[in-house]
Chains A and B, each alone.
Chain A
Amino acid sequence: MPVVLAEASAWSYVTVTYVATVGLLGGYTAWILRRGRKVGRQLPPEERTWS
């Protein structure tokens, strides 16, 4: 039983790690894309050399 409990506890740490990773990287990505659209809107299309 203690082994099962230890593994359950380990999985909770693993879950927190992956949720935090997806949350941090996902949040940062969303911020970049939203800010890119906001700033890009103010730039004339001919200066958006990448599009």
Chain B
Amino acid sequence: MTSTPSDTGAGLLRLHPDGTASRGSRILGIVVLVSSVAFLYVALVASAPDRSLDAQGELVRIMYVHVPSAIACYTAFFVTAVASGMYLWRRTTGWDALAASSAEIGVVFTALTLLTGSIWGHTTWGTWWEWDPRLTSTALMFVLYLGYLALRRAILDPTSRAKQSAILGIIAFINVPIVHYSVDWWRSLHQTATVASLDPQIDGLRLFALMFGMVLAMLLYVWLMMHRFRLAYAEAALESKGLDQALAERRAEARADGGSVPPSVTPEGGS
């Protein structure tokens, strides 16, 4: 089935013939884009600065990005752990691609969490960085998942790469609850959860902006996952084709030399 720009829809819903978009992802993309504009209006214009006793003033607006990006990276790494477990059970490329895609998006959201937290910390605590339990465990989480991505690039054999990555994807997730509960388990400069209780520390339009940010971050995560997973799937398919082609060439070379085909390049050899 070949698709051209003219037969895949019109206007904003037109699909790029070669890309990773589908009609569903295009619709979700438009929803995310429109919601982002609305979110910027609510977060930067409509909501009032914090004038409470523990006032953050205008800086509270940083929280509308910082907290949702932290929630998004927790979600992404949870999906990585589940998909890694599913890969070890089912051994299918799809679960491996799902785990890898989610980890990469999680790393982007973690970088955003650290960046926005650092900016907020500089204005509130007077320092860009503090070796506080929450900050340190978040930095560790960032490095762990960077290591996960590096491991995927370092191993050439797809089966070995998927297996070792899946094991690391599960082990690395142990740090995620430590990050979340670090503010409760140890004395921390970082504040405790803002909306985890029935009596949230913010209300009104500020609470709405924070919730809106969380929903938007989740929608963005799902949309990014749709594209990143399809990209990973396409890369895996091309890699598999490349291996098949290399094996066929090696067999042809062996036959041309008049020798026997080594077991490592026969189908039974499992190479």
Closest residue of chain A to B238 (Cβ to Cβ) is A42
The answer to whether B112 and A47 touch across the interface, beta carbons within 8 angstroms, is: no
Closest Cβ of chain B to A38, distance in Å, is 8
How many angstroms between the C-alpha atoms of A16 and B238 in the bound complex?
40
A43 within 8 Å of B (CB atoms): yes
The answer to whether B231 and A45 touch across the interface, beta carbons within 8 angstroms, is: no
B270 within 8 Å of A (CB atoms): no
The answer to whether B18 and A18 touch across the interface, beta carbons within 8 angstroms, is: no
A contacts with B, residue count (CB < 8 A): 32
Closest residue of chain B to A41 (Cβ to Cβ) is B18
Closest residue of chain B to A10 (Cβ to Cβ) is B58
The proximity string for B residues 1-35 relative to A, scoring 1 for CB distances below 8 Å and 0 otherwise, is 11100001000000111111110010000000000
Within 8 Å CB of A36, what residues of B?
A: 19-21, 227, 230-231, 234
Given A13-B62, A33-B19, A51-B15: A24 and B112 within 8 A (CB)? yes
Summed over the interface, the residue pairs from A and B with CB atoms below 8 Å come to a total of: 107
Closest residue of chain B to A51 (Cβ to Cβ) is B3
Closest residue of chain A to B36 (Cβ to Cβ) is A22
**Which residues 1-34 in A have Cβ within 8 Å of B in the complex?**
6-7, 9-11, 13-14, 16-18, 20-21, 24-25, 28-29, 32-33
How many angstroms between the C-alpha atoms of A39 and B235 in the bound complex?
7
Query: Which of A7, A24, A43, A50 is the one whose CB lies under 8 Å from B57?
Result: A7
How many angstroms between the C-alpha atoms of A33 and B8 in the bound complex?
17
Query: Which of A13, A32, A33, A37 is the one whose CB lies under 8 Å from B59?
Result: A13
Query: Which of A7, A17, A45 is the one whose CB lies under 8 Å from B65?
Result: A17
**Which residues 76-127 in B have Cβ within 8 Å of A in the complex?**
108, 111-112, 115-116, 119-120, 122-123
For this complex, 13 residue pairs linking A to B, each with C-beta atoms less than 8 Å apart, are: A7-B49, A14-B44, A14-B58, A18-B40, A18-B43, A21-B69, A25-B112, A36-B227, A37-B18, A42-B234, A47-B234, A47-B237, A50-B25
| A interface residues, Cβ below 8 angstroms from B | 6-7, 9-11, 13-14, 16-18, 20-21, 24-25, 28-29, 32-33, 35-37, 39-43, 45-48, 50-51
| B interface residues, Cβ below 8 angstroms from A | 1-3, 8, 15-22, 25, 40, 43-44, 49, 57-59, 61-62, 65-66, 69, 108, 111-112, 115-116, 119-120, 122-123, 220, 224, 227-228, 230-231, 234-235, 237-238
